[in-house]
Structure 1
């Protein structure tokens, strides 16, 4: 069956978008070494507890301080994996670790390998978003296809998606799973109207709910939106029962993990963390090693969440942190209000006055001349109110009445995950958890709303569309600059670093040890004093062994290299030659410089 020219063009465009998405995600994937959370990921996938609480027979032998890679790599049990997840990631993400464990068994252990599943899930999210939009926005097939392609393109260049695809954590996987769950949820509702729902769809939906929650507990916020939609718009009681049964089975399976698996420490750890960060917020909010942690007052939560809200939307990305000076912001917002007034007054007139063709550019440029800092960002800020106005107009004007439930659903999915973070901040008394990746499940739905706006903009008269399109182009340039900072490891909000990391020093150390080690030599690892904040952190030793663990992950599993912890050395990994006693510095960690 041959495709029509229109379909063939769409396929080529979609293929180009997917290729772009893949290239943007795989580019410089393993340039920088693993950071703290990825270290936990790597250890957990090998059944190793961070700091060795399940490795006393390796690091704490009574008759000898020495250990070998062969001893480090002894076979692990299910209990070891459970304990590793419980202690290393608060009993979190077992589904992700299972998938990554299988992946590493197939493709080996390296920075590139442990991050590549994130690339796959992130690219699949772009593809799934295309089919999601095309399936559920069906008022006009051609319009739905354009909307789907625009949504896929925005997802392909979304900075959060790209940044998370470079990290060996569960977020890219959960973005994909929750979008797939929402798709199946809507398909069930659609088919129930025709009484054609096979049981396997409900089973599949329940499985997706289970795997999603077992990939990240905060995915529950997406399913809360599913429940709200059911409450508001589903009027068939049998559907309530079937969805209820799916949720009950899913929650039951999650409860098994929380009761008998590695998740049994979850609630204890979450409660401890809440108390710990609340204490920091009250005693040392600005200078702690955990960053700025403020008490959860209304002003603090507002200002901390503002960048999160801003970065949800592509055309406001970065504006919350780039807007400087009350007068600059006031002028930008005033120009936005005046622009909305002009747009509202003349947008639907067949023959608006001639002066309106210059009004919007003149307004925006007048502000750009005034701004005393970050003029481009403030110029974009001045256009945000017109953008939101057009989005509201699109939602009200371009959809049929029976599309309204879907639009309300999109808005719920766009807002609820972040609102949940704010609620939890007030409940826990601190602002530490208000961060973008914890509400990243909202991004696919916000992207659809932005695509609706862009499609609306493309249908407006030139006096309106050209100035706003030019500002979107400027914002695109700012997004490109942000992507460059992400690739250069200098975007702290997305990479946690303002100074670029080096390539993985633990992998490099292991390869250097392999090359230089001879029988009779000894590898010495540094030891720092450990701070144990709770029972979960306790390993029974006062010093850290994490550097020894990480290097051994990259050493041959059958090697018998003699190694030990040097209690007198805080920073250097050293190889001591057995015949001469010569000390060769394998790597100098320089305090905490390479330990984060």
Structure 2
């Protein structure tokens, strides 16, 4: 087995972490915040979207930044969390609140926690694999795969809870496995139980769907834990954790979560049944088995870096069957002759000939289908690594990896079926799986290196082609032109609220008046979305976030204007257009 000295390992790890940080930092503040990030920013400051907790500010004819920035109570934070994010993610908003106090609220600043948590996930993955699989090279390879994973890069550019939850759930799994080790040695790891409980609480209060990871821990314990005392201690840890989390659901913002989820299920189900294509939410279909399957295929394909982007190709049935058939045949050849030292010439040329033959058949995106055909033997290599290069303890850990890879997505599919619509089937809600998939992919690459060159070279060439596709995907992510991860089919501009605030600070003189446009947010739920105001307040709120907290700028909402922020000069009456949103073009 390939081993590294401690110095070399440390150097390589440093390079991997540096690559991860650079990929995540690059262009992180280039494009303006989109709607979910607007919610993030306001919630973290205790401000309710559309001003439900700012009636004393916006019910007057005029208001100032000083009035907007009056001190907020904990009740304000709860109300903002309820209306802006159904009571989800209070732990993340708490972290962001402290971060903003220290580093400000530019787009770059509010996204930096995501950049850091995503980079730390790469480092933690190295620690995880090195500790539990006892392999330096596998740990470094897993970390490198995570470093270049487009999913991680894309979500590190969002001021949302996702990167934080990926880190926390990986940390929770690490602690859980350390507890399992101590139990096997008949030790009582009290400190680890406390750490596990705290990580559980923080994870769930960072995103409710992190419970799927802890569900996997429970399934693993059911399979392998045979210690009554340990079950009791884990049960107490879980009960205390659930008890503390439940306080948020009883007394905090979480009390509206189940109401909102039920309302949303009915709302999206009605859309799926009556108007699946005519909404601003994208295509929402009834949750039939065929519809769920079509939505699930790209989700599962994108989990693995060597099949990322192949989901659409799989929907081309005829080409896919040929590619999968070629891949299956290639796998059988590897299985039969992979250990033969001096095979016949036809065995040596079989792999490149098979893969090239498919290129002559595929009618569209031929190199995508070439990669798809190579994915079958690569999946086989993952299995061979598990069989050949892991002991019984590590094989049990692979079971854990498999649970963590698939259970979160199957949970989403189940919830979609139960809710009656496909709206929630999206990669970010099962993104907790990606660190463990990186380990499985690293196993396949390690096994690939053990094959004779006549088998490994054509497969490596196919993986290099896939690396080219991934590079293109990263370029599109950086250009804000990849809807799969950025949600936009055209690049955003720099934050118009930030730039407007900077212009206003420069141009405003005492007596001037700032006019904000009135664009009402659609009211989907009377209980959650309904506000007191007859005019839209969101544009005014988002500009005021960036204005000085003690400023006395005179401001009002212009009920007859829908697009422009205007500065009216007191002395001349001149109207200066600060920014024109052009409807929804620049409101994202």
Q: TM tier, shorter chain?
A: over 0.9
SS at match of 2:481: coil
1:79 is aligned to: 75
Shift in Å, 1:369 = 2.6
Partners of 2:454 and 2:91 lie apart in 1 by 52
Q: Is the aligned partner of 1:114 residue 2:110?
A: yes
Q: 1:588 to 1:326 in 2, by over 3 A?
A: same
1:240 is aligned to: 231
Shift in Å, 1:5 = 7.4
Contact 2:480/2:488 (CA < 8 Å) preserved in 1? yes
Q: Is the aligned partner of 1:583 residue 2:575?
A: yes
Q: For 1:501, which of 492, 495, 504 is the aligned residue?
A: 492
Shift in Å, 1:322 = 4.2
Partners of 1:448 and 1:576 lie apart in 2 by 59
Shift in Å, 1:404 = 2.3
1:92 is aligned to: 88
Contact 1:324/1:374 (CA < 8 Å) preserved in 2? no
Shift in Å, 1:287 = 2.2
After TM superposition, the structure 1 = structure 2 runs for residues 476-495 of structure 1, keeping only pairs within 5 Å, are: 476-495=467-486
Shift in Å, 1:373 = 1.7
Q: Is the aligned partner of 1:571 residue 2:556?
A: no
Q: For 1:309, which of 268, 288, 300 is the aligned residue?
A: 300
Q: Is the aligned partner of 1:562 residue 2:554?
A: yes
Q: CA RMSD in A?
A: 1.2
After TM superposition, the structure 1 = structure 2 runs for residues 360-379 of structure 1, keeping only pairs within 5 Å, are: 360-379=351-370
Q: Is the aligned partner of 1:187 residue 2:187?
A: no
After TM superposition, the structure 1 = structure 2 runs for residues 119-198 of structure 1, keeping only pairs within 5 Å, are: 119-138=115-134, 144-198=135-189
1:34 is aligned to: 33
2:47 is aligned to: 48
1:141 is aligned to: none
Partners of 2:308 and 2:123 lie apart in 1 by 23
Contact 2:213/2:432 (CA < 8 Å) preserved in 1? yes
Q: Is the aligned partner of 1:17 residue 2:16?
A: yes
Shift in Å, 1:77 = 0.5
Q: 1:202 to 1:325 in 2, by over 3 A?
A: closer
Q: 1:5 to 1:446 in 2, by over 3 A?
A: closer
SS at match of 2:28: coil
Partners of 1:330 and 1:110 lie apart in 2 by 49
Partners of 1:479 and 1:284 lie apart in 2 by 35
Partners of 1:512 and 1:188 lie apart in 2 by 56
Contact 2:313/2:320 (CA < 8 Å) preserved in 1? no
What's the CA shift string for 1:14-69, capped at 9, x where partnerless?
000000000000000100000000000000111100111000000013xxx10100
Partners of 2:14 and 2:408 lie apart in 1 by 31
SS at match of 2:142: helix
Contact 2:4/2:136 (CA < 8 Å) preserved in 1? no
Q: For 2:339, which of 345, 348, 358 is the aligned residue?
A: 348
Contact 2:24/2:115 (CA < 8 Å) preserved in 1? yes
1:218 is aligned to: 209
Q: 1:355 to 1:571 in 2, by over 3 A?
A: same
What's the CA shift string for 1:283-319, capped at 9, x where partnerless?
1111211101110000000001111100000000001
Q: For 2:402, which of 411, 414, 438 is the aligned residue?
A: 411
Shift in Å, 1:539 = 0.9
Partners of 1:359 and 1:194 lie apart in 2 by 49
1:383 is aligned to: 374
SS at match of 1:537: coil
Contact 1:336/1:383 (CA < 8 Å) preserved in 2? yes
Q: Is the aligned partner of 1:338 residue 2:329?
A: yes
Query: Which ranges of structure 2 fall in alignment gaps of 5 or more residues?
Result: none
Contact 1:421/1:434 (CA < 8 Å) preserved in 2? yes
Partners of 1:210 and 1:540 lie apart in 2 by 35
Contact 1:332/1:379 (CA < 8 Å) preserved in 2? yes
Partners of 1:324 and 1:474 lie apart in 2 by 20
After TM superposition, the structure 1 = structure 2 runs for residues 264-275 of structure 1, keeping only pairs within 5 Å, are: 264-275=255-266
2:320 is aligned to: 329
Shift in Å, 1:530 = 3.5
Contact 1:323/1:374 (CA < 8 Å) preserved in 2? no
Contact 1:417/1:439 (CA < 8 Å) preserved in 2? yes
Partners of 2:160 and 2:31 lie apart in 1 by 15
Contact 1:188/1:202 (CA < 8 Å) preserved in 2? yes
Q: 1:305 to 1:325 in 2, by over 3 A?
A: closer
SS at match of 1:574: strand
SS at match of 2:385: helix
Alignment: residue pair count: 585
SS at match of 2:29: coil
Partners of 1:373 and 1:323 lie apart in 2 by 12
Contact 2:535/2:557 (CA < 8 Å) preserved in 1? no
Query: Which ranges of structure 1 fall in alignment gaps of 5 or more residues?
Result: 139-143
Q: Is the aligned partner of 1:594 residue 2:586?
A: yes
Contact 1:324/1:373 (CA < 8 Å) preserved in 2? no
Partners of 1:122 and 1:407 lie apart in 2 by 23
SS at match of 2:50: coil
Partners of 1:530 and 1:153 lie apart in 2 by 43
Shift in Å, 1:402 = 3.1
Contact 1:202/1:246 (CA < 8 Å) preserved in 2? yes
What's the CA shift string for 1:252-278, capped at 9, x where partnerless?
111100110111111111111111111
Partners of 1:315 and 1:165 lie apart in 2 by 21
Q: For 1:453, which of 440, 444, 447 is the aligned residue?
A: 444
Q: For 2:194, which of 203, 212, 222 is the aligned residue?
A: 203
SS at match of 1:541: coil
Partners of 1:550 and 1:435 lie apart in 2 by 28
Contact 1:118/1:166 (CA < 8 Å) preserved in 2? yes
Partners of 1:405 and 1:435 lie apart in 2 by 29
Give the structure-1-normalised TM-score: 0.97
